[in-house]
Structure 1
Amino acid sequence: MEIQWSLVLFTAIAGTGSWLLGCACIDEFKGMAKKTTSLAAIIAIVLLIAGGIVSATHLSHVDRIFGVLAHPAPGIFLEALLLGIDALIGLILVLLWKRDASAGARKAFAALGVIMAPVFSFSCGFSYMMSSQLAWNNIGLPLGYLGTAAAAGCALWALLCAYRGEAEEALVFAGWETVLGGALAVVFALVFGMVSGVSAGAQAPLFWGAVVLVGGVAPLACGVAITRKPASALAFAGLALACGCVGAIAFRCLMWLGSDALMALFGVTL
């Protein structure tokens, strides 16, 4: 099946932004990276909006996106709704931080931001689950979307913390968040690969090389390196981000390519 690049980039970019915002929101409770939270939230909002714009280019007539959004239904409407909510949470938090609002208000919206990271990234993959596409019709697909977005988003947070010169304590914690993102990418990619069958056959090199090793194991290893050598966090976080982005894009490409391979086993041409 032909790769739909608009949809690939939409979920990769917006998913990364959602997890970046989630990491910034976690720091509202930890209080270790005060110099980075607002910047991270602003970048997250930009990524979410950019992802939404890229998604609209999938339509042959972009103006028809308003017609789609006017009819509540699963799929595009749900993704757009969650994206808008996530971006709004980020904007409100930036304003609350700027005005030094009450801790209760900040933590309430920060909790929502943390929840939205897995919810939004999972929903982007969940909307593709359908019985007519055997390779997509398993829970590993949305979980893979979640995990690969987490790897890229957490790595971007660590990179921003290092760039802003946060204290060693904050960098070490960001390193552990990067480890978590990498671990989620590895585990959930393996779930999808084993259940869908793309871990073997023609797509196996892309799966094991770009998705599992580059997109998951590498960010995980870089996160461990950050926890042990926070002075080198900028370099390790940059590498983790690059690898996480490769893995996120490769996983989404694999979704389209893997569908062809699996359906061919049943003599079906797509």
Structure 2
Amino acid sequence: MEMQWPLILFTLFMAWSAGVFGTGAVLALAGTGRRVQMPALITSVVLLVVGGIAVFFHLEHWDRIFNGFGNPTSGITQELVAIVVMAVFMVLYFVYLRKPEGTVPKWLAVCALVISVVLVVVMSHSYNMAARPAWDSPLLWLAYLGNAALFGPLTVILLGQCCKSGEATDGDGDRAASVLGLSAVVGALANTAFSLLWGVAAMASASSFTEVGLYWDPTHPNQPIANPAEAANILSGDASLLFWVGVVIVGCVVPLVCAFAGRRKSASATGLAAVGLVCAIVGAVCLRMVFYSAGASVFMFF
């Protein structure tokens, strides 16, 4: 299947926004990182808006898309509901941060963390289609959640640099750095494990196709029959280089090394977080490119 770049950017920025918002919630639950909460919230809002704008470039008929919102089972309706709910919690988050004490209550932090996870799951669930076996797996949810879990801590570590001097007076900065460092390691591990699991699942989806022999399609007289097994073979087929180098090495191994190194060398944590975040973004884009390249349809194998 051809690359759908608006949707690639949409899922990328949605996962990024959810990751940053969820990381802020983790800091709130840990009772630390007060000064970085507002920059993290603003960043997550901007990422959410950018992702929302990107998806509209995929719609050829904007006027017709509103008809789909009347169907609660459609993926775009569920995504819209999740985005609106997340925006509501972002507003509540902002209200509490603007109060004199500037702290987020535990219940709101839990709600923020839950909606961050729900948004990514709902977004990725929209692509589960029986007609495209490589897409039809809940492991895709986990792969995108792994992206979010990695994007969030690395981004907030970088945002924390502008608040470092203020937090150093009360020790809050050191506690926040410890929580973020651990979160980055956990996120990098989750991103690596879930990306590999999805790759294996996509490879296994080739067994969902049935050979029907050769045929001639009058609507595509010059197009050869597709090879569904080759389309799904992302581990050693045409998309294998993109998967192993782009997704695994650049998008998983490098951020994982940066996360562990940042925990051991706090003085280099910022630079390592920047390298890890850039590589994580590149890997996430490559994952989505592999996702589309493996999306062969069972309908006539085209």
Q: Give the C-alpha shift of residue 268 in structure 1.
A: 4.8
Equivalent residue, structure 2, for 1:122: 121
Whole-Å Cα distance in 1 between the matches of residues 139 and 236 of structure 2?
16
Give the secondary-structure state (helix, strand or coil) at the position aligned to 1:164. Answer: helix
Q: Give the C-alpha shift of residue 18 in structure 1.
A: 0.7
User: In 2, are the aligned partners of 1:182 and 1:218 still within 8 Å (CA)?
Assistant: no
Larger Rg: 2
User: In 1, are the aligned partners of 2:11 and 2:123 still within 8 Å (CA)?
Assistant: yes
User: In 2, are the aligned partners of 1:215 and 1:243 still within 8 Å (CA)?
Assistant: yes
Say if 1:200 and 1:119 are closer, same or farther in 2 by CA, change over 3 A: farther
2:200 to 194, 199, 202: 194
Residue 245 (structure 2) pairs with residue 216 (structure 1): no
Equivalent residue, structure 1, for 2:174: 168
Identity among equivalent pairs (%) = 31
> Residues 1-21 of structure 1: CA distance to partner in whole angstroms, max 9, x if unpaired?
111111110010111011100
Give the secondary-structure state (helix, strand or coil) at the position aligned to 2:135. Answer: coil
Residue 111 (structure 2) pairs with residue 112 (structure 1): yes
Equivalent residue, structure 2, for 1:235: 271
Q: Give the C-alpha shift of residue 75 in structure 1.
A: 0.6
User: In 2, are the aligned partners of 1:215 and 1:245 still within 8 Å (CA)?
Assistant: yes
Q: Give the C-alpha shift of residue 129 in structure 1.
A: 0.9
Whole-Å Cα distance in 2 between the matches of residues 178 and 77 of structure 1?
32
Say if 1:102 and 1:154 are closer, same or farther in 2 by CA, change over 3 A: closer
Pairs aligned (count): 265
Say if 1:62 and 1:174 are closer, same or farther in 2 by CA, change over 3 A: same
Whole-Å Cα distance in 2 between the matches of residues 48 and 70 of structure 1?
23
Whole-Å Cα distance in 2 between the matches of residues 206 and 78 of structure 1?
31
User: In 2, are the aligned partners of 1:151 and 1:244 still within 8 Å (CA)?
Assistant: yes
- Greater shift, 240-249 or 141-150, is seen at 141-150
Give the secondary-structure state (helix, strand or coil) at the position aligned to 1:36. Answer: helix
User: In 2, are the aligned partners of 1:6 and 1:57 still within 8 Å (CA)?
Assistant: yes
Q: Give the C-alpha shift of residue 115 in structure 1.
A: 1.3
TM-score scaled by structure 2? 0.81
Equivalent residue, structure 2, for 1:255: 291
Residue 206 (structure 2) pairs with residue 185 (structure 1): no
Equivalent residue, structure 1, for 2:134: 135
User: In 2, are the aligned partners of 1:148 and 1:251 still within 8 Å (CA)?
Assistant: no
User: In 2, are the aligned partners of 1:133 and 1:259 still within 8 Å (CA)?
Assistant: yes
Whole-Å Cα distance in 2 between the matches of residues 227 and 137 of structure 1?
37
Whole-Å Cα distance in 2 between the matches of residues 191 and 141 of structure 1?
9
Q: Give the C-alpha shift of residue 78 in structure 1.
A: 0.7
Give the secondary-structure state (helix, strand or coil) at the position aligned to 2:82. Answer: helix
Whole-Å Cα distance in 1 between the matches of residues 25 and 178 of structure 2?
17
User: In 1, are the aligned partners of 2:27 and 2:179 still within 8 Å (CA)?
Assistant: no
Say if 1:153 and 1:62 are closer, same or farther in 2 by CA, change over 3 A: farther
User: In 2, are the aligned partners of 1:149 and 1:248 still within 8 Å (CA)?
Assistant: no
Letter matched to residue 160 of structure 1: L
Q: Give the C-alpha shift of residue 84 in structure 1.
A: 1.5
Equivalent residue, structure 2, for 1:79: 79
Say if 1:17 and 1:259 are closer, same or farther in 2 by CA, change over 3 A: same
Equivalent residue, structure 2, for 1:158: 157
Q: Which runs of 5+ in 1 are unaligned?
A: none
User: In 2, are the aligned partners of 1:226 and 1:232 still within 8 Å (CA)?
Assistant: yes
Whole-Å Cα distance in 2 between the matches of residues 29 and 45 of structure 1?
20
Whole-Å Cα distance in 2 between the matches of residues 36 and 267 of structure 1?
50
> Residues 230-264 of structure 1: CA distance to partner in whole angstroms, max 9, x if unpaired?
2222211111110111111111111101124xx6x
> Residues 209-235 of structure 1: CA distance to partner in whole angstroms, max 9, x if unpaired?
111222122222211122112222221
User: In 2, are the aligned partners of 1:199 and 1:207 still within 8 Å (CA)?
Assistant: yes
